[in-house]
Amino acid sequence: MSSENLMTLNLKIWRQKNNKEKGEIVDYTIDGISPDASFLEMLDILNEKLIKEGSDPVAYDHDCREGICGMCSLMINGQAHGPEAETTTCQLHMRKYKDGDTIVIEPFRARAFPVLKDLMIDRQAFDDIIAAGGFVNVNTGNPQDANAILVPKENAELAMDAASCIGCAACVASCKNASAMLFVSAKVSQLALLPQGQVEADERVKNMVLKMDELGFGNCTNEAECEASCPKGISISNIARLNRDFLKAAVTSND
């Protein structure tokens, strides 16, 4: 453990009072940061200091701090969730930085995700996309025995890979078109890979893509930045699957 090497850092943080006013980058210097602290604990320490001074602490979203809830976000030096691959901001640790570093911290930006305050954004659009079709239409009741639906192990694994999406929106924030294709394709793929999702497969992909377009997300132009920034390593092969399914749904559609 390296608790002796406490760091001093220069932070440049986006401050914005609410979703109506304009924001700006504000400079802060913070010292005494242990390399063992997490990135969010570093922000906690900054906030504790701001509170002592009587200023407004920096608002940012977080909850589980275990990399699973998808609540945390942040563009850190221009990278969604910071420099470490397949790692959410809450799992990033300060040992990635050195004494004297400058860190620019901004919210995820996309037309569909307005900034609410400082680093907090509104991701309601993702819920709207799921409500448009990201489910199997089955009511609670007495479904058949779970083992009556057999799923080849390989498909089960692929479905699980896709289902690991935490809905954090890093993919949208990293995409120059602010496309939500990785998010949508992950849900479409998960269900397309399972027998349970087959019946409504065509409807699902059409409705979700339609909703995505309607909400102001951009088109996918195969930049693959989404995959690179995804903290859960969701593959862009899901986008290819979505495209195939979408085409098929469009061709067989009778409306």
Partner 1 sequence: MSDIKKLDGKVPAGDIQDKWDNHRFNMKLVNPSNKRKYHVIVVGTGLAGASAAATLSELGYQVSTFCIQDSPRRAHSIAAQGGVNAAKNYPNDGDSVWRLFYDTVKGGDYRSREANVYRLAQVSNNIIDQCAAQGVPFAREYGGTLSNRSFGGAQVSRTFYARGQTGQQLLLGAYSAMMKEVGKGKVKSYTRREMVELVIVNGKARGIITRNVVTGEYEKFSADAVLLCTGGYGNTYFLSSNAMASNGSAAWKAYKKGAMFANPCYTQIHPTCIPQHGDFQSKLTLMSESLRNDGRVWVPKAKADKRAALDIPEEERDYYLEEKYPSFGNLVPRDVAARNAKQQSDLGKGVGSTGVAVYLDFADAIKRDGIESIRAKYGNLFEMYQRITDENPYEVPMRIFPAVHYTMGGLWVDYNLMTTVPGCFALGEANFSDHGANRLGASALMQGLADGYFVIPFTLGNYLAGEDLINQKVDTSAKEFDEALTESEARFTKLLGINGNKSVDSFHRELGVVMWDNVGMARTEESLKTAISKIKDIRADFWKNVKVTGTADGINIELEKANRVADFLELGELMARDALERKESCGGHFRDEYQTEDNEARRVDDEFCHVAAWEFTSVDKEPIRNIEELSFENVALSQRSYK
Which residue lies nearer to partner 1 by CB, 78 or 143? 143
Contacts of residue 33, defined as CB under 8 A and 6 or more positions apart, other chains included, come to 6, 7, 8, 9, 42, 45, 94
Give the x/- contact pattern for ligand FES in 87-106, rule: CB under 6 A.
-x-x----------------
Q: Does 232 bind ligand FES (CB under 6 A)?
A: no
Which residue lies nearer to partner 1 by CB, 69 or 215? 69
Q: Position 180: which residue type?
A: A
Contacts of residue 92, defined as CB under 8 A and 6 or more positions apart, other chains included, come to 38, 39, 76, 81, 82, 83, 84
Residue of 23, 46, 58, 67 that binds ligand FES (CB under 6 A): 67
How many Å apart are CA 8 and CA 102, to the nearest integer? Answer: 9
- Within 10 Å of residue 14's Cβ, how many Cβ atoms? 20
Residue of 71, 105, 173, 209 that binds ligand FES (CB under 6 A): 71
Which residue lies nearer to partner 1 by CB, 45 or 224? 45
Instruction: Specify the stretch interacting with ligand FES by CB under 6 A; choose among 56-64, 110-118, 124-132, 205-213.
Output: 56-64
Site for partner 1 in 42-81 (CB under 8 A): 44-45, 48, 50-52, 54-57, 59, 61-71
How many Å apart are CA 243 and CA 222, to the nearest integer? Answer: 12
- Which residues contribute to the site for ligand FES (CB under 6 A)? 62-65, 67-72, 88, 90
